[in-house]
Amino acid sequence: MELGLINKVKDTIFPQLCIACQRDGFLLCVECRAVFVCRHIQHCPGCEAVTTFGARCPEHYDHVLDGIVSATWYANPLSKRLIRLWKYRYARDAEQHIGSILTQWLQVTQQIPSGDWAIVPVPLHERRERERGFDQSLMLAHTISMELGIHLKLDLVRRARHFQKPQAELDDSKRVARSFAGVFEVNTKITVPKQVLLVDDVYTTGKTMSAVASELKSAGVEVVWGITFARGN
């Protein structure tokens, strides 16, 4: 059976409904996509203080992340749904929506501070990538790099240690208690960029991103800004 026909049969048995309005057709229909709400303000990486480009507030002047920008709230049911469909059900159309919502939002709102940036995805351990079949932070980093013309640097940092459970699956107290010592390693054989945009899908406590940022700064990177599709839990 040819692929088009297989998809038609699949759509007849499992009709694709819009996650917002439930209309038949697309995962997120054109009308609902057009009114998808992104964040207009950004907050400090360490607290809820509203700052320009999500820069550190005076109280968190020593936070290892210089700032964090996120396109949506994880509490937005549509954001949450898209992420879950993407990460746990491998829905390619969810991935495309997440990539396009994030990059269009970055282009329209110009949320990235100016500078000579290199884009770096938060590295996923290769074992987890094999289990899941794809690497979501790499895909987002790739999309942002292509759409915004920012250099993608893949050989800068790697994951040296693997957790049994991903950070997102732990409860709050375990998330805070988890040690990231020796989890990420920076490749010191190459010239490190001065400014890095670190990409991940969700920013929750910021522990994972801060652990990468800390290694990058120890290796000589001067500014590390985070970019995620969603923020919160």
- Enter the tokens of residue 126: 């290769």
Per CB under 5 A, does 46 bind Zn ion? yes
Count the neighbouring beta carbons within 10 Å of the beta carbon of residue 12.
8
Nearer to Zn ion, 1 or 30 (CB): 30
29 scored as a contact of Zn ion (CB under 5 A): yes
- Of 180, 207, 191, whose CA–CA distance to 153 is shortest? 191
Picking from 51, 65, 46, the residue whose alpha carbon sits closest to that of residue 227 is 65
> Does position 20 bind Zn ion by CB under 5 A?
yes
Count the residues of the shown chain that bind Zn ion, applying the rule CB under 5 A: 12
Q: Which is nearer to Zn ion, 5 or 35 (CB)?
A: 35
78 vs 186, which CB is nearer to Zn ion? 78
Decide whether 60 or 125 has the Cβ nearer to Zn ion: 60
The least CB distance from residue 32 to Zn ion, in Å, is: 3
Report the Cα–Cα distance between both ends of the chain, in Å, rounded.
43
Strand 42-43 to 50-51 pairing: antiparallel
Site for Zn ion in 56-115 (CB under 5 A): 57, 59-60
Residue 200 three-state SS: strand
Binding site for Zn ion (CB under 5 A): 18, 20-21, 29, 32, 44, 46-47, 49, 57, 59-60
